[in-house]
Structure 1
């Protein structure tokens, strides 16, 4: 069986298009089989998008496991000064991500294939992720641990994770790595966790 966190371009393609209102901006997304949350922006991602704030001290953002571009497209729309990079291991997701950036007139973004941070060369002011829980704890913890070396000083890691799918474990790992972890928001079992590189 093919999963959204693997490269699965050989799946049947039946694209779906939907709209998403993010802070007064009506955005249009195309999705398809083989990507996470095919039919709509998932609830956890919505909770993170509602919670996250960025001011102009934050200039760069990396979306790890970007899927069809939810975080990168939404946050670049609201914070147009951000230079955004989006990475995923799934070629179909990356193709959709490029399409969705173009559809929503998102420029100054870089979208490329990377297993977690494997092909990421820069460091950033913000890293965001809705980690692929089904890929296993080891993958999730790699996203959390290795974020540290890809953040600038005062950079922030923001993630969304359900309590029952490992939020306490993720919080513990982020505390271990960063020396801090704030629960920014809890909503229907979803935790928004933030760590700062101090």
Structure 2
């Protein structure tokens, strides 16, 4: 039953009763009070891996759109939307309840640069300057790899992705796999049991579109 409960936030409809809550994101440069709910990833607190990413991932290096892949209720998307208000931030998730929360939280924070949508609602011609993600490792290796191979090639030439992954959930093997796919992954830091990986798309790498 515990595993079934964890799977709710990987589904379009979480299938659990709504229990609204609130999580505070408090960083040196950003403070946000975000609405959460049951059936959404880490609904009762800011996930520690997400916090590692928010505290340590570099700011975007170019003016391209930002993607928060697997956005949940939006702590990553809304933090970077606050830090870079002139950039469009795409908050993408399969969980409809999560997307509704992102929209509410963006409206409350007066962030008009956030678009929360399902994966298939992102226009085919959109490319990203930066991707930030606390990826859903527990969906399984095959699905996880398929997800990354769908989105990472949508980086602009010279674009960068930052992924935070728990060490004991396979961060090092994921980095090796990314390297093998022609997406070089470097470990930026190891903190609190998490690895922060930087994935580069080199400007001379042929497009996979």
TM-score by length of structure 1 reads 0.91
Structure 2 unmatched runs, 5+: 203-209
| Displacement of 1:22 | 2.5
Give RMSD over aligned pairs: 1.6
The corresponding residue for 1:189 is 193
Partner of residue 160, structure 1: 164
Q: What is the aligned residue count? A: 195
CA deviation profile, 1:98-130 (whole Å, cap 9, x unmatched) = 11111111112211112xxx4432110011111
- 1:22 equivalent in alignment to 2:27: yes
Q: Is the Cα contact below 8 Å between 2:66 and 2:89 reproduced in 1? A: yes
* Cα displacement (A) at 1:55: 4.6
Alignment partner for residue 111 of structure 1, among 101, 113, 116? 116
CA contact (8 A) 2:74 2:91 kept: yes
Give the drift of 1:9: 4.5
* Per-residue Cα deviation, 1:36-70 (whole angstroms, up to 9, x for no partner): 10111100001011111225623310111111011
Contact 1:28 1:103 in 2 (8 A): no
Q: Secondary structure in 2 aligned to 1:139?
A: helix
C-alpha change, 1:91 and 1:189, in structure 2 (3 Å) is same
Segment of structure 1 superposing worse, 162-171 or 145-154: 145-154
Q: Which one of 44, 55, 78 corresponds to residue 50 of structure 1?
A: 55
What is the TM-score with the length of structure 2 in the denominator?
0.87
The residue number in structure 1 matching 2:180 is 176
Alignment-derived partner of residue 37 in structure 1: 42
1:133 partnered with 2:137: yes
Residue 154 of structure 2 corresponds to residue 150 of structure 1: yes
Displaced runs of 4+ in structure 1, greater than 4 A? Answer: none
Q: Distance in 2 between matches of 1:171 and 1:9?
A: 30
Contact 2:68 2:77 in 1 (8 A): yes
Q: CA deviation at 1:138?
A: 1.3
Q: Which residue of 2 aligns with 1:71?
A: 76
- Distance in structure 2 (CA, Å) of the matches to 1:56 and 1:131: 21
Larger deviation, residues 13-22 vs 92-101: 13-22
Preserved CA contact (<8 Å) 1:22 1:74: no
